[in-house]
Amino acid sequence: MDKKVARKVLIASLIGSSIEWFDYFLYGTVAALVFNQMFFHSEDPTVGLMLAYASFALAFFIRPLGGVIFSHIGDRIGRKKTLVLTLSLMGGSTVLMGFLPTYEAIGVAAPILLILLRLIQGIGLGGEWGGALLLAVEYAPKDKRGFFGSIPQMGVTIGMLLGTLALSIMTLLPEDTFMTWGWRVPFILSALLVIFGLWIRKGIDETPSFKKAQEKGEITKIPFLETMRTHWKEVLIAVGAKVVETAPFYIFGTFIVSYATTQLGFSRATTLSAVTIATIVTTILIPVMGSLSDKIGRKKLYVGGTILMMLYAFPYFWLLHQGSAALLILATVLGLGIIWAPITAVLGTMFSEIFKSNVRYTGISLGYQIGAALAGGTAPLVATALLAAYDNSYVPVALYIILAAAISLIAVAAVRDRKNEELDSEAA
């Protein structure tokens, strides 16, 4: 493949993915800092936080629907057109969030409108991830598929990094100013990123795998039904494999913001800095792990990362409870920065390799989004509920991380490693 085309494809898959996740994570962090007070008004702060996290979780449950809608378009009409639609939907809803009146201004209509926009975000993201991943994977040479497939995964952490940095800058404002209008600025300015992303994506051609399926007349009329008929086992594998990638991620990256500030006495700036440093580390490591998977295989890396995640669950909380800012940063870097990196780096490529091209968009989107709905969006909510139920003991939350890892190890037991094989070979 031409180097210029390869570069353009990787930039297109990465930039759109980064923007989508920036929009998404911005909401997650602001939910813990602002929405619990300004939109979900409650006498009990824990109830307000739980309601804010519930609104965060809601979009995860709508994501599988977005996955079905947009993967249908992606498997029927093409990957490229779908990606323009998903980015427009996500971007528009995020910008509008920045203009929403608060509970104090319009009462119960404020959380209703916020939740509506959050659901639109979820629908857009439901179709975005699969398209961005396939744009990279279906263009990739067989000996570099792990590396190509890891690039859109960097969008998750780059988006999170942009969201955290934007809010870190805004939190330098006085508290009253931040709560009044400071938090709105990143939402509104995201419009510039969306325009840039759309411009990049419109210059990309359709993927070779989709073109091949078109030429062979293998385009499926109803991809969802075909996937459920011929690839339901693969969907279940993907759902299970997603659990360890998503639950600990939201513990290390989102739940920690409220836990460290309200339970452990750390400042908001210190906690956000820890997440930012860990996010930079994992962003650097993801393509390294993707390349490594082209040499030693996807499954070995994934299983190794998952076992480390199980072993780290209790030491993570022990480090946090030492009350040291340096150990808070170390704990977050080890979990989110290092242990999580190999799991997420190979996940998308591993998913792509177990589905045929005519249902690949639908299959990977269903597996990824259902797994995210069951284990991702609920993670901060479950962790907060466990703390409340067990007198702020972290033991149940650590056990929750271990359970997530165990589920994923069982799910991938039957997966065959396909490094250096053609993606669309008949044997697959």
**Model confidence over 336-391: pLDDT tens digits?**
999 999 999 999 999 999 998 888 999 999 998 889 888 876 787 888 888 888 88
pLDDT at 1 over 70: no
Q: Which stretch of DSSP H or E encloses residue 337?
A: none
> Is 268 inside any structural domain?
yes
Residue 422 lies in a domain: no
Task: Determine, yes or no, domain membership for 426.
Answer: no
Expressed as residue numbers, the domain containing 62 is 3-414
155 CB contacts (<8 Å, ≥6 apart)?
13, 14, 15, 16, 17, 18, 19, 20, 21, 132
Task: Report if residue 427 sits inside a domain.
Answer: no
pLDDT at 41 over 80: no
| CA distances in angstroms from 243 to 85, 106, 154, 238, 335, listed in the order given | 27, 38, 18, 9, 15
Find the Cα–Cα–Cα–Cα dihedral 157, 130, 406, 382, rounded to 10°.
70
The CATH number assigned to the domain holding 291 equals: 1.20.1250.20
Residue 425: its pLDDT value, please?
Answer: 65
- Residues 168-218 pLDDT 10s: 788 888 988 988 899 899 999 888 888 888 888 888 888 888 888 888 887
Residue 407 belongs to a domain? yes
Does 377 map to a domain?
yes
For residue 278, the surrounding DSSP H or E stretch is helix 268-296
Using the structure block, give the residue that is written with the tokens 């969006």: 377
Residue 420 lies in a domain: no
424 within domain boundaries = no
- When divided into structural domains, the chain yields a total of 1
Handedness of CA 46, 47, 50, 51 (dihedral sign): negative
Closest CA to 59 of 33, 34, 88, 94: 94
pLDDT at 427: 40
Instruction: State the Cα–Cα distance between residues 301 and 9, nearest whole angstrom.
Output: 25
